[in-house]
């Protein structure tokens, strides 16, 4: 099973509360400083490696994992979903740089898919009268009704 942001965030929150403290016990600034501290540790290992010291890549990887762990807790403390904000930012940079294969569906792709689903709904209404399920799918693709829209173009 691949690790998802949703699963990671849930377990990260539960572990924080069970083993350390409530998420709200630390301010967003506290969470940010902890995250930056871990990034600093990764940077220090990379600095030592640049100077010729032998630093195992797993050591640097562990610090990167700590950064992500704290970034997730900071996001949760701010009421944000890490997967959603990462996907949105990836889409913004991808669009700005002309990268076509994004994580989120583009507005053009979404419009095309909506047209196809509306066509299918019309056909189903005329033949079987079960358009309600298709309407729910169409509504789930409308960002104004579903702000956590995360359709992958390459799924």
Instruction: Please tell me whether residues 61 and 18 are part of one structural domain.
Output: yes
Above 50 in pLDDT, residue 88?
A: yes
145 or 49, higher pLDDT: 49
Task: Report the range of poorest mean pLDDT among 6-10, 21-25, 40-44, 93-97.
Answer: 93-97
Phi first, then psi, for residue 69 (nearest 5°) are -60, -45
> Is the residue at 95 inside a domain?
no
Distance CA 85, CA 66 (A): 18
Q: What tokens were used for 36?
A: 């930056």
Distance CA 153, CA 149 (A): 12
CB distance 140 to 146 below 8 Å: yes
Residue 11 pLDDT > 80: yes
**Counted domains in the chain:** 2
Q: Indicate whether 58 belongs to any domain.
A: yes
Domain's final residue, options 52, 80, 108: 80
Claim to verify: residue 47 and residue 106 sit in the same structural domain: no
Q: What is the largest CA-CA distance in the chain?
A: 72
**Token representation of residue 141:** 């693709």
Q: How many CB atoms lie within 10 A of CB 113?
A: 15
- What's the confidence (pLDDT) of residue 155? 33
Residue 115 forms part of a structural domain: yes
Q: What is the pTM of this model?
A: 0.67
Residue that the structure tokens 């509504």 belong to: 139
Residue 86 lies in a domain: no
Q: What is the pLDDT of residues 111-139, one digit of tens each?
A: 767 777 777 777 666 665 555 555 666 66
Answer whether residue 15 is part of any domain. yes
* Host domain of residue 11: 5-80
Same structural domain for residues 104 and 76? no
**Is there a single domain that holds both residue 65 and residue 126?**
no
Q: Within 13 Å and on the Cβ side, how many CA atoms surround 123?
A: 6
Per the domain annotation, does 136 fall within a domain? yes
Nearby residues of 53 by Cβ (< 8 Å), 6 or more positions away: none
């Amino acid at each position: 099973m691949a690790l998802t942001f949703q699963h990671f965030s849930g377990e990260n929150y539960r572990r924080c509360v069970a083993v350390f403290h409530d998420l709200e016990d630390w301010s967003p600034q506290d969470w940010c400083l902890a995250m930056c501290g871990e990034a600093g540790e990764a940077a220090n290992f990379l600095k030592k490696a640049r100077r010729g010291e032998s630093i195992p890549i797993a050591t640097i990887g562990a610090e990167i994992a700590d950064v992500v762990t704290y970034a997730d807790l900071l996001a949760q403390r701010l009421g944000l979903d890490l997967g959603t904000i990462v996907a949105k930012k990836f889409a913004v940079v991808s669009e700005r740089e002309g990268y076509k294969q994004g994580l989120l569906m583009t507005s053009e792709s979404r419009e095309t898919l909506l047209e196809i689903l509306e066509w299918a709904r019309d056909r189903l209404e005329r033949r079987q009268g079960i358009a309600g399920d298709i309407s729910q799918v169409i509504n789930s693709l409308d960002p104004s009704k579903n702000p956590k829209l995360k359709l992958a173009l390459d799924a």
